[in-house]
């Protein structure tokens, strides 16, 4: 079990290239402070995000997931976000019915100019997931976690033991 006193949530964010990724980039270049617990996976469109991405993230150690893309009517591909909205509306209910707390999931629309909103989304999600605690019940479904199940653990162990500076300056 994860030690609660040192628990840092791992949150995986699946974001669209055109709006949220650019918005997150803006948050970074604007030097907005936000939790560093989020790993971003950039995809062409929210319509490209399969429900299995979320499942796989939970399987591989995520405690929370963010799915974010362009606001309605802003999709670079015209309708990808509308399709995603239907799919995730259903999938969220399915996860809830199967006993996966929907509070571990955040769906949001963040445009390229909404760096501040991205900051809010990240901070709120990380706070919420921190309160919920580690998602051990899902991670442990296949028995005790092994190093192979937990690709982050090796990276974090390396980072903790190396002399690398904690913050690499903006390049």
Partner 1 sequence: MSDLQDTARRLLDEGTVQVVIGWEASRLGARPVFVTSADDCDKLIFDTRCVHNLATFLNPRRVQVAALGKAAVVVKGCDAKAVAGLLREAQFERDAVVTIGVRCGGVVSEPSGLEPPELTSANVAARCPGCDVREPASVDFLVGEAQPEPPVTTSLNERIGELDALSPAERFAFWTGELSRCTQCYACRQACPLCYCERCIVEKSQPQWIETSPHPRGNFAWHLTRAQHLAGRCVGCGECERACPVGIPLGLINRKLQQVVHELYGYTVTDDPAVPAPIGAYATDDTQDFIK
The distance of closest approach from Cβ of residue 72 to partner 1 in the complex, given in angstroms and rounded to an integer, is: 7
Q: Determine the Cα–Cα distance for residues 155 and 150; give it in Å rounded to an integer.
A: 10
| Closer by beta carbon to partner 1, 90 or else 164 | 90
Query: Given its phi and psi angles, is residue 143 left (phi above 0), alpha (psi -120 to 50 degrees) or beta?
Result: left
The distance of closest approach from Cβ of residue 110 to partner 1 in the complex, given in angstroms and rounded to an integer, is: 9
Candidates 66, 65, 58; CA nearest to 145 is: 58
The distance of closest approach from Cβ of residue 162 to partner 1 in the complex, given in angstroms and rounded to an integer, is: 29
Distance, C-alpha 70 to centroid of its chain: 16
| Closer by beta carbon to partner 1, 102 or else 151 | 102
Q: Which residues bind partner 1 (CB under 8 A)?
A: 51-52, 55-56, 59, 72-73, 79, 82-83, 85-102, 106-109, 121, 124, 137-138, 141-143
User: Which residues, in sequence order, are CB contacts of 21 under 8 Å at separation 6+?
Assistant: 15, 40, 42
| Closer by beta carbon to partner 1, 79 or else 157 | 79
Token duo for residue 89: 């509306």
The distance of closest approach from Cβ of residue 142 to partner 1 in the complex, given in angstroms and rounded to an integer, is: 4
């Amino acid at each position: 079990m994860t030690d609660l006193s040192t628990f840092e949530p791992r949150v995986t964010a699946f974001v669209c290239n055109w709006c949220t990724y650019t918005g997150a980039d803006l948050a970074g270049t604007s030097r907005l402070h936000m939790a560093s617990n989020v790993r971003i996976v950039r995809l062409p469109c929210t319509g490209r995000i399969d429900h299995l991405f979320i499942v796989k993230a939970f399987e591989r150690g995520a405690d929370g997931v963010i799915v974010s893309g362009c606001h309605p009517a802003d999709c670079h591909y015209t309708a990808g976000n509308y399709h995603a909205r239907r799919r995730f509306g259903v999938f969220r209910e399915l996860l809830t019915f199967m006993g996966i707390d929907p509070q571990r999931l955040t769906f949001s629309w963040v445009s390229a100019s909404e760096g501040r909103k991205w900051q809010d989304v990240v901070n709120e999600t990380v706070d919420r997931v921190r309160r919920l605690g580690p998602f051990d019940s899902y991670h442990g479904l296949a028995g005790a976690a092994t190093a192979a199940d937990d690709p982050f653990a090796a990276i974090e162990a390396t980072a903790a033991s190396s002399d690398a500076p904690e913050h690499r300056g903006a390049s």
